[in-house]
Structure 1
Amino acid sequence: MTIDQIIREGTSQVKTTFCSFQANIMSIENKREPYYNACKKCYSKVDMKEGVVECYKCKKIDVECNQRYILKLIVTDGEQSIKITIFDDSEMLIGCPVSEYMSMNGEKDMQSKFNRNLISCVGKKYEFYTKANKISEDDRAMGRWIAQYIERIDDVEHEDINKDDGCQNKRRKL
Protein backbone atom coordinates (compact mmCIF):
# COMPACT_ATOMS: atom_id res chain seq x y z
CA MET A 1 0.00 0.00 0.00
CA THR A 2 1.30 3.51 -0.75
CA ILE A 3 1.00 6.52 1.52
CA ASP A 4 -1.34 8.15 -1.00
CA GLN A 5 -3.64 5.10 -0.99
CA ILE A 6 -3.73 5.14 2.78
CA ILE A 7 -4.54 8.85 2.85
CA ARG A 8 -7.25 8.59 0.17
CA GLU A 9 -8.79 5.22 0.97
CA GLY A 10 -7.48 4.03 4.32
CA THR A 11 -9.23 6.56 6.53
CA SER A 12 -12.25 7.36 4.39
CA GLN A 13 -14.54 4.61 5.68
CA VAL A 14 -13.67 4.21 9.35
CA LYS A 15 -12.45 6.32 12.25
CA THR A 16 -9.33 4.22 12.85
CA THR A 17 -7.58 1.90 10.44
CA PHE A 18 -4.41 -0.21 10.61
CA CYS A 19 -2.04 -0.50 7.67
CA SER A 20 1.59 -0.87 6.68
CA PHE A 21 3.77 0.82 4.10
CA GLN A 22 7.42 1.13 3.15
CA ALA A 23 9.04 4.54 3.30
CA ASN A 24 12.35 6.32 3.74
CA ILE A 25 12.95 8.56 6.74
CA MET A 26 13.46 12.07 5.34
CA SER A 27 13.96 13.96 8.59
CA ILE A 28 13.64 13.78 12.36
CA GLU A 29 11.82 16.81 13.75
CA ASN A 30 12.80 16.42 17.42
CA LYS A 31 16.26 14.83 17.32
CA ARG A 32 17.58 17.16 20.04
CA GLU A 33 15.01 16.01 22.61
CA PRO A 34 13.66 12.55 21.68
CA TYR A 35 11.85 11.94 24.97
CA TYR A 36 9.12 13.29 27.23
CA ASN A 37 7.87 12.83 30.80
CA ALA A 38 4.96 10.37 30.69
CA CYS A 39 2.31 9.29 33.15
CA LYS A 40 3.08 5.70 34.20
CA LYS A 41 -0.62 4.81 33.98
CA CYS A 42 -1.71 6.22 30.60
CA TYR A 43 1.62 7.23 28.94
CA SER A 44 0.33 10.77 28.26
CA LYS A 45 2.65 13.73 28.60
CA VAL A 46 2.58 15.15 32.12
CA ASP A 47 2.89 18.75 33.22
CA MET A 48 5.57 19.43 35.85
CA LYS A 49 5.29 22.70 37.79
CA GLU A 50 7.05 23.48 41.06
CA GLY A 51 7.61 19.82 41.87
CA VAL A 52 3.99 18.83 41.19
CA VAL A 53 3.33 16.31 38.41
CA GLU A 54 -0.11 16.51 36.80
CA CYS A 55 -1.68 14.24 34.20
CA TYR A 56 -4.51 15.96 32.37
CA LYS A 57 -5.70 12.74 30.76
CA CYS A 58 -6.02 10.89 34.09
CA LYS A 59 -7.12 14.16 35.75
CA LYS A 60 -4.81 13.53 38.70
CA ILE A 61 -2.12 15.45 40.53
CA ASP A 62 1.11 13.96 41.90
CA VAL A 63 1.09 11.05 39.46
CA GLU A 64 4.11 8.81 39.00
CA CYS A 65 5.93 9.45 35.77
CA ASN A 66 8.93 8.30 33.80
CA GLN A 67 10.70 9.29 30.61
CA ARG A 68 9.51 7.78 27.36
CA TYR A 69 10.95 8.06 23.86
CA ILE A 70 9.03 9.92 21.19
CA LEU A 71 10.32 10.57 17.67
CA LYS A 72 8.51 12.71 15.14
CA LEU A 73 9.58 11.76 11.64
CA ILE A 74 8.87 12.91 8.11
CA VAL A 75 8.82 9.86 5.82
CA THR A 76 8.26 9.41 2.10
CA ASP A 77 7.47 6.53 -0.20
CA GLY A 78 8.84 8.54 -3.15
CA GLU A 79 5.51 10.07 -4.10
CA GLN A 80 3.93 11.25 -0.86
CA SER A 81 5.30 12.42 2.49
CA ILE A 82 3.70 12.19 5.92
CA LYS A 83 4.52 12.92 9.55
CA ILE A 84 4.71 9.83 11.72
CA THR A 85 5.34 9.45 15.44
CA ILE A 86 7.08 6.47 17.00
CA PHE A 87 7.37 5.67 20.68
CA ASP A 88 8.90 2.38 21.87
CA ASP A 89 10.66 1.59 18.59
CA SER A 90 12.61 4.83 18.99
CA GLU A 91 14.95 2.72 21.10
CA MET A 92 15.79 0.69 18.01
CA LEU A 93 16.80 3.84 16.11
CA ILE A 94 18.66 5.49 19.00
CA GLY A 95 20.31 2.27 20.18
CA CYS A 96 19.75 2.64 23.91
CA PRO A 97 16.86 2.46 26.41
CA VAL A 98 15.53 5.88 27.43
CA SER A 99 16.68 5.33 31.02
CA GLU A 100 20.27 4.89 29.80
CA TYR A 101 19.98 7.92 27.52
CA MET A 102 18.64 10.06 30.38
CA SER A 103 21.32 8.85 32.80
CA MET A 104 23.89 10.30 30.40
CA ASN A 105 22.44 13.78 30.91
CA GLY A 106 25.43 16.06 30.77
CA GLU A 107 27.63 13.46 29.10
CA LYS A 108 27.32 15.04 25.69
CA ASP A 109 29.85 12.68 24.09
CA MET A 110 27.71 9.63 24.92
CA GLN A 111 24.45 11.29 23.90
CA SER A 112 26.03 12.52 20.68
CA LYS A 113 27.02 8.91 19.81
CA PHE A 114 23.36 7.93 20.09
CA ASN A 115 22.26 11.06 18.22
CA ARG A 116 24.63 10.13 15.38
CA ASN A 117 23.07 6.67 15.32
CA LEU A 118 19.62 8.27 15.10
CA ILE A 119 20.67 10.69 12.37
CA SER A 120 22.16 7.79 10.39
CA CYS A 121 18.60 6.48 9.95
CA VAL A 122 17.74 9.39 7.66
CA GLY A 123 17.49 8.13 4.10
CA LYS A 124 17.04 4.50 5.16
CA LYS A 125 13.97 2.45 4.26
CA TYR A 126 11.63 0.98 6.88
CA GLU A 127 8.34 -0.88 6.99
CA PHE A 128 5.93 1.18 9.12
CA TYR A 129 3.00 -0.59 10.76
CA THR A 130 0.64 2.22 11.65
CA LYS A 131 -2.69 3.27 12.98
CA ALA A 132 -4.25 6.18 11.09
CA ASN A 133 -6.71 8.54 12.78
CA LYS A 134 -9.03 11.05 11.17
CA ILE A 135 -8.52 14.04 13.44
CA SER A 136 -8.88 17.35 11.62
CA GLU A 137 -8.74 18.77 8.12
CA ASP A 138 -5.12 19.93 8.56
CA ASP A 139 -4.02 16.59 10.02
CA ARG A 140 -5.67 14.68 7.17
CA ALA A 141 -3.90 16.86 4.61
CA MET A 142 -0.47 15.95 6.02
CA GLY A 143 -1.53 12.73 7.75
CA ARG A 144 -1.47 11.98 11.46
CA TRP A 145 0.18 8.64 11.95
CA ILE A 146 1.45 6.71 14.94
CA ALA A 147 3.71 3.76 14.21
CA GLN A 148 2.86 0.71 16.27
CA TYR A 149 6.01 -1.03 15.02
CA ILE A 150 8.77 -0.37 12.51
CA GLU A 151 11.21 -2.68 10.80
CA ARG A 152 14.34 -1.80 8.82
CA ILE A 153 14.22 -3.24 5.30
CA ASP A 154 17.51 -1.95 3.90
CA ASP A 155 20.38 -4.42 3.67
CA VAL A 156 22.79 -1.95 5.30
CA GLU A 157 23.56 -2.71 8.94
CA HIS A 158 23.38 -0.06 11.67
CA GLU A 159 26.67 0.86 13.29
CA ASP A 160 26.85 -0.95 16.64
CA ILE A 161 27.69 1.94 18.95
CA ASN A 162 27.06 0.03 22.15
CA LYS A 163 30.22 -2.08 22.37
CA ASP A 164 32.06 -0.33 25.19
CA ASP A 165 29.60 2.14 26.68
CA GLY A 166 27.72 -0.21 29.03
CA CYS A 167 24.41 0.37 27.29
CA GLN A 168 22.48 -2.79 26.52
CA ASN A 169 21.57 -2.98 22.84
CA LYS A 170 17.97 -4.17 22.81
CA ARG A 171 17.16 -3.10 19.28
CA ARG A 172 15.31 -5.45 17.04
CA LYS A 173 17.61 -7.08 14.51
CA LEU A 174 17.96 -4.79 11.53
Structure 2
Amino acid sequence: MPMRTTLFGDLATNEGSILKAEIKYKPVIALSDFKISIYQGDTSISSQIISTLCINPKIELASELREWFQLEESAKAKGSPSTLFKNAKEIHISDIMHKSQNSIQAQYCTFKAKITTILNRLEPWFYACNKKVDKDVSKECLNNKCRRIIDDLVPRYLVKILVKNGTDNARVTLFDAAEIFIGCKAKTFITEKKEKNNQSPYFQKFVLNIGKTFKFLVKLGEKTKDERGEGNIIAQEIQLQLDITIDVDNEDATLELPRKKIKVEKD
Protein backbone atom coordinates (compact mmCIF):
# COMPACT_ATOMS: atom_id res chain seq x y z
CA MET A 1 0.00 0.00 0.00
CA PRO A 2 1.52 3.37 -1.00
CA MET A 3 2.44 5.74 1.82
CA ARG A 4 3.61 9.35 1.69
CA THR A 5 6.68 10.22 3.77
CA THR A 6 7.82 13.80 4.45
CA LEU A 7 11.32 14.65 5.65
CA PHE A 8 12.18 17.84 7.49
CA GLY A 9 15.39 19.51 8.66
CA ASP A 10 18.66 17.57 8.51
CA LEU A 11 16.93 14.40 7.32
CA ALA A 12 15.63 16.25 4.28
CA THR A 13 19.04 17.81 3.57
CA ASN A 14 21.25 14.77 4.19
CA GLU A 15 19.34 11.48 3.80
CA GLY A 16 16.85 13.19 1.49
CA SER A 17 19.62 14.12 -0.95
CA ILE A 18 20.92 10.55 -0.94
CA LEU A 19 17.44 9.18 -1.59
CA LYS A 20 16.96 11.60 -4.48
CA ALA A 21 20.09 10.22 -6.14
CA GLU A 22 19.30 6.59 -5.34
CA ILE A 23 15.53 6.56 -5.97
CA LYS A 24 15.85 4.91 -9.40
CA TYR A 25 17.44 1.89 -7.70
CA LYS A 26 14.38 1.45 -5.42
CA PRO A 27 16.20 1.58 -2.06
CA VAL A 28 14.76 0.06 1.10
CA ILE A 29 14.51 2.46 4.04
CA ALA A 30 14.05 1.91 7.75
CA LEU A 31 12.29 4.66 9.69
CA SER A 32 12.17 5.24 13.43
CA ASP A 33 10.20 7.68 15.59
CA PHE A 34 8.22 9.20 12.73
CA LYS A 35 4.86 10.88 13.29
CA ILE A 36 1.92 8.94 11.78
CA SER A 37 -1.23 10.70 10.56
CA ILE A 38 -4.27 9.82 8.45
CA TYR A 39 -5.99 12.40 6.27
CA GLN A 40 -9.00 11.56 4.07
CA GLY A 41 -8.16 7.88 4.32
CA ASP A 42 -4.49 8.18 3.27
CA THR A 43 -1.77 7.26 5.74
CA SER A 44 1.26 9.54 5.84
CA ILE A 45 4.30 9.83 8.07
CA SER A 46 6.59 12.79 8.74
CA SER A 47 9.91 13.21 10.50
CA GLN A 48 10.45 14.84 13.89
CA ILE A 49 13.57 16.04 15.68
CA ILE A 50 14.13 12.55 17.16
CA SER A 51 13.46 10.69 13.89
CA THR A 52 16.08 8.51 12.20
CA LEU A 53 16.23 7.09 8.67
CA CYS A 54 18.51 4.32 7.43
CA ILE A 55 18.96 3.56 3.73
CA ASN A 56 19.34 -0.09 2.70
CA PRO A 57 19.90 -1.39 6.23
CA LYS A 58 21.74 -4.71 6.46
CA ILE A 59 18.99 -6.58 8.29
CA GLU A 60 16.93 -9.63 7.40
CA LEU A 61 13.64 -7.71 7.10
CA ALA A 62 15.16 -5.39 4.50
CA SER A 63 16.42 -8.37 2.46
CA GLU A 64 12.99 -10.00 2.58
CA LEU A 65 11.33 -6.76 1.48
CA ARG A 66 13.70 -6.37 -1.45
CA GLU A 67 13.09 -9.97 -2.56
CA TRP A 68 9.32 -9.43 -2.35
CA PHE A 69 9.58 -6.22 -4.36
CA GLN A 70 11.65 -7.89 -7.07
CA LEU A 71 9.09 -10.69 -7.36
CA GLU A 72 6.29 -8.12 -7.62
CA GLU A 73 8.14 -6.20 -10.33
CA SER A 74 8.84 -9.43 -12.24
CA ALA A 75 5.18 -10.44 -12.04
CA LYS A 76 4.11 -6.97 -13.16
CA ALA A 77 6.43 -7.14 -16.18
CA LYS A 78 4.80 -10.44 -17.16
CA GLY A 79 1.32 -8.98 -16.77
CA SER A 80 0.53 -10.94 -13.61
CA PRO A 81 -1.66 -9.28 -10.96
CA SER A 82 0.01 -7.84 -7.88
CA THR A 83 -0.47 -9.22 -4.38
CA LEU A 84 -2.66 -6.23 -3.57
CA PHE A 85 -4.81 -6.94 -6.62
CA LYS A 86 -5.23 -10.64 -5.78
CA ASN A 87 -6.11 -9.97 -2.14
CA ALA A 88 -8.57 -7.11 -2.74
CA LYS A 89 -12.26 -7.85 -2.19
CA GLU A 90 -14.38 -7.93 -5.35
CA ILE A 91 -17.54 -5.83 -5.22
CA HIS A 92 -20.05 -4.51 -7.75
CA ILE A 93 -19.36 -1.41 -9.81
CA SER A 94 -22.32 0.37 -8.18
CA ASP A 95 -20.69 -0.18 -4.78
CA ILE A 96 -17.47 1.38 -6.05
CA MET A 97 -19.42 4.44 -7.18
CA HIS A 98 -21.49 4.95 -4.04
CA LYS A 99 -19.54 3.29 -1.21
CA SER A 100 -18.82 5.61 1.74
CA GLN A 101 -15.84 5.08 3.96
CA ASN A 102 -16.66 3.46 7.28
CA SER A 103 -12.97 3.28 8.07
CA ILE A 104 -10.60 6.23 8.39
CA GLN A 105 -8.10 4.34 6.24
CA ALA A 106 -8.39 3.84 2.50
CA GLN A 107 -9.45 0.43 1.21
CA TYR A 108 -8.73 -1.41 -2.02
CA CYS A 109 -11.42 -3.29 -3.95
CA THR A 110 -11.91 -4.75 -7.42
CA PHE A 111 -14.83 -4.83 -9.85
CA LYS A 112 -15.45 -6.36 -13.27
CA ALA A 113 -16.85 -4.47 -16.24
CA LYS A 114 -16.85 -4.48 -20.04
CA ILE A 115 -15.15 -1.67 -21.95
CA THR A 116 -17.64 0.04 -24.28
CA THR A 117 -15.58 3.00 -25.51
CA ILE A 118 -12.06 4.43 -25.36
CA LEU A 119 -12.62 8.17 -25.23
CA ASN A 120 -9.08 9.33 -26.15
CA ARG A 121 -7.80 6.40 -28.20
CA LEU A 122 -5.98 8.68 -30.68
CA GLU A 123 -3.83 10.32 -28.00
CA PRO A 124 -3.91 8.42 -24.68
CA TRP A 125 -0.94 10.17 -23.06
CA PHE A 126 0.39 13.40 -21.58
CA TYR A 127 3.88 14.78 -20.90
CA ALA A 128 5.19 15.38 -17.41
CA CYS A 129 8.15 15.67 -15.08
CA ASN A 130 6.41 15.09 -11.75
CA LYS A 131 3.02 16.60 -12.56
CA LYS A 132 0.93 16.98 -15.70
CA VAL A 133 2.23 19.59 -18.13
CA ASP A 134 1.20 20.93 -21.50
CA LYS A 135 2.64 18.72 -24.28
CA ASP A 136 3.21 21.79 -26.47
CA VAL A 137 5.76 23.20 -24.00
CA SER A 138 8.91 21.33 -24.93
CA LYS A 139 11.36 22.50 -22.29
CA GLU A 140 9.67 24.25 -19.38
CA CYS A 141 7.89 22.17 -16.80
CA LEU A 142 4.61 23.80 -15.76
CA ASN A 143 4.51 22.18 -12.34
CA ASN A 144 4.28 25.19 -9.98
CA LYS A 145 6.29 23.36 -7.32
CA CYS A 146 8.98 22.58 -9.86
CA ARG A 147 9.29 25.52 -12.26
CA ARG A 148 12.50 24.31 -13.83
CA ILE A 149 13.88 23.83 -17.30
CA ILE A 150 14.18 20.17 -18.22
CA ASP A 151 15.90 18.46 -21.12
CA ASP A 152 13.16 16.03 -21.99
CA LEU A 153 9.55 15.75 -20.88
CA VAL A 154 8.48 12.27 -19.83
CA PRO A 155 5.42 10.77 -21.57
CA ARG A 156 2.90 9.03 -19.32
CA TYR A 157 -0.29 7.19 -20.10
CA LEU A 158 -3.66 8.84 -19.52
CA VAL A 159 -6.37 6.52 -20.84
CA LYS A 160 -10.04 7.41 -20.44
CA ILE A 161 -12.55 4.62 -21.01
CA LEU A 162 -16.25 3.99 -20.52
CA VAL A 163 -17.23 0.68 -18.91
CA LYS A 164 -20.50 -1.11 -18.29
CA ASN A 165 -21.64 -3.88 -15.97
CA GLY A 166 -25.31 -4.72 -16.32
CA THR A 167 -27.19 -1.44 -16.03
CA ASP A 168 -24.30 0.44 -14.39
CA ASN A 169 -21.93 2.66 -16.37
CA ALA A 170 -18.78 4.45 -15.26
CA ARG A 171 -15.88 6.41 -16.65
CA VAL A 172 -12.51 4.87 -15.71
CA THR A 173 -9.15 6.63 -15.91
CA LEU A 174 -5.90 4.68 -16.21
CA PHE A 175 -2.45 6.16 -15.67
CA ASP A 176 0.55 3.81 -15.39
CA ALA A 177 -1.86 0.86 -15.18
CA ALA A 178 -2.49 1.34 -18.91
CA GLU A 179 0.92 -0.18 -19.67
CA ILE A 180 -0.52 -3.68 -19.07
CA PHE A 181 -3.63 -2.65 -21.01
CA ILE A 182 -1.61 -1.59 -24.08
CA GLY A 183 1.48 -3.78 -23.82
CA CYS A 184 4.35 -1.31 -23.91
CA LYS A 185 5.80 1.83 -22.37
CA ALA A 186 4.15 5.14 -23.26
CA LYS A 187 7.24 6.33 -25.15
CA THR A 188 7.22 3.21 -27.35
CA PHE A 189 3.50 3.56 -28.02
CA ILE A 190 3.91 7.21 -29.11
CA THR A 191 6.85 6.40 -31.42
CA GLU A 192 5.00 3.49 -33.04
CA LYS A 193 1.83 5.55 -33.39
CA LYS A 194 3.64 8.42 -35.11
CA GLU A 195 5.54 6.11 -37.48
CA LYS A 196 2.79 3.63 -38.38
CA ASN A 197 -0.36 5.52 -37.38
CA ASN A 198 -3.32 3.13 -37.01
CA GLN A 199 -1.23 0.23 -38.33
CA SER A 200 0.85 0.15 -35.16
CA PRO A 201 0.42 -3.28 -33.50
CA TYR A 202 0.26 -1.59 -30.09
CA PHE A 203 -2.47 0.77 -31.26
CA GLN A 204 -4.44 -2.11 -32.75
CA LYS A 205 -4.16 -4.12 -29.53
CA PHE A 206 -5.23 -1.01 -27.63
CA VAL A 207 -8.47 -0.42 -29.57
CA LEU A 208 -9.30 -4.13 -29.74
CA ASN A 209 -9.83 -4.03 -25.97
CA ILE A 210 -13.23 -2.48 -26.67
CA GLY A 211 -15.88 -5.09 -25.91
CA LYS A 212 -13.64 -7.11 -23.59
CA THR A 213 -14.21 -7.61 -19.86
CA PHE A 214 -11.58 -6.50 -17.37
CA LYS A 215 -11.15 -6.52 -13.61
CA PHE A 216 -10.14 -3.16 -12.11
CA LEU A 217 -8.36 -2.42 -8.83
CA VAL A 218 -9.69 0.75 -7.17
CA LYS A 219 -8.62 2.66 -4.09
CA LEU A 220 -11.61 3.71 -1.98
CA GLY A 221 -10.86 6.86 -0.03
CA GLU A 222 -12.74 9.84 1.34
CA LYS A 223 -11.25 12.32 -1.11
CA THR A 224 -12.42 10.31 -4.14
CA LYS A 225 -15.93 9.67 -2.81
CA ASP A 226 -17.53 12.60 -4.66
CA GLU A 227 -15.84 11.72 -7.95
CA ARG A 228 -16.87 8.10 -7.65
CA GLY A 229 -20.41 9.18 -6.89
CA GLU A 230 -20.44 10.95 -10.26
CA GLY A 231 -19.22 7.79 -11.99
CA ASN A 232 -15.56 8.82 -12.35
CA ILE A 233 -13.18 6.10 -11.18
CA ILE A 234 -9.37 5.92 -11.20
CA ALA A 235 -8.08 2.36 -11.54
CA GLN A 236 -4.76 1.41 -9.96
CA GLU A 237 -4.44 -1.87 -11.87
CA ILE A 238 -6.27 -3.74 -14.62
CA GLN A 239 -6.44 -7.39 -15.73
CA LEU A 240 -8.17 -9.00 -18.72
CA GLN A 241 -10.88 -11.55 -17.87
CA LEU A 242 -11.17 -14.53 -20.20
CA ASP A 243 -14.59 -14.98 -21.81
CA ILE A 244 -15.62 -18.65 -21.40
CA THR A 245 -19.30 -18.31 -22.31
CA ILE A 246 -20.89 -21.17 -24.31
CA ASP A 247 -23.37 -20.58 -27.12
CA VAL A 248 -26.30 -23.01 -26.60
CA ASP A 249 -28.70 -21.53 -29.15
CA ASN A 250 -27.68 -24.09 -31.77
CA GLU A 251 -29.46 -27.40 -31.12
CA ASP A 252 -26.71 -29.31 -32.88
CA ALA A 253 -23.95 -27.63 -30.85
CA THR A 254 -21.88 -29.95 -28.72
CA LEU A 255 -19.28 -29.22 -26.07
CA GLU A 256 -16.06 -31.12 -26.66
CA LEU A 257 -14.39 -32.08 -23.39
CA PRO A 258 -10.84 -33.44 -23.16
CA ARG A 259 -10.74 -37.22 -23.08
CA LYS A 260 -9.12 -38.86 -20.09
CA LYS A 261 -7.83 -42.43 -19.92
CA ILE A 262 -8.76 -44.50 -16.87
CA LYS A 263 -6.67 -47.49 -15.92
CA VAL A 264 -8.73 -50.45 -14.69
CA GLU A 265 -7.01 -53.29 -12.90
CA LYS A 266 -8.46 -56.82 -13.17
CA ASP A 267 -8.99 -58.92 -10.05
Q: Same fold (TM over 0.5)?
A: yes
TM-score, normalised via structure 1 length: 0.71
Runs of 4+ in 1 over 6 A off after TM superposition: none
More strand by share: 1
Q: Aligned partners of 2:137 and 2:117: how far apart in 1?
A: 35
Q: State which of 123, 126, 139 in structure 2 corresponds to 1:52.
A: 139
Contact 1:131 1:145 in 2 (8 A): no
Unaligned runs of 5+ in 2: 1-90, 245-267
Larger Rg belongs to: 2
Q: In structure 2, what is the equivalent of residue 33 of structure 1?
A: 123
One-letter amino acid of the structure 1 residue matched with residue 117 of structure 2: S
Q: 1:19 deviation in Å?
A: 1.5
CA offsets 1:33-80 (integer angstroms, 9 cap, x no match): 0111021xx3x2123566432232533221453111121111122121
Q: Let me know the Cα RMSD of the aligned residues.
A: 2.7
More helix by share: 2
Q: State which of 230, 233, 240 in structure 2 corresponds to 1:152.
A: 240
Residues 27-106 of structure 1 aligned to structure 2 (within 5 Å): 27-39=117-129, 42=130, 44-47=131-134, 51-56=138-143, 58-63=145-150, 65-104=153-192, 105-106=194-195
Q: 1:86 deviation in Å?
A: 1.1
TM-score, normalised via structure 2 length: 0.49
Q: 1:14 deviation in Å?
A: 5.4
Q: State which of 208, 214, 225 in structure 2 corresponds to 1:120.
A: 208
Q: In structure 1, what is the equivalent of residue 110 of structure 2?
A: 20
Q: In structure 2, what is the equivalent of residue 108 of structure 1?
A: 197
Gap change, CA 1:72 and 1:48, over 3 Å in 2: closer
One-letter amino acid of the structure 2 residue matched with residue 27 of structure 1: T
* Number of aligned positions between the proteins: 151
Q: 1:140 deviation in Å?
A: 4.1
Q: In structure 1, what is the equivalent of residue 61 of structure 2?
A: none
Unaligned runs of 5+ in 1: 157-174
Contact 2:98 2:228 in 1 (8 A): no
Contact 2:138 2:153 in 1 (8 A): no
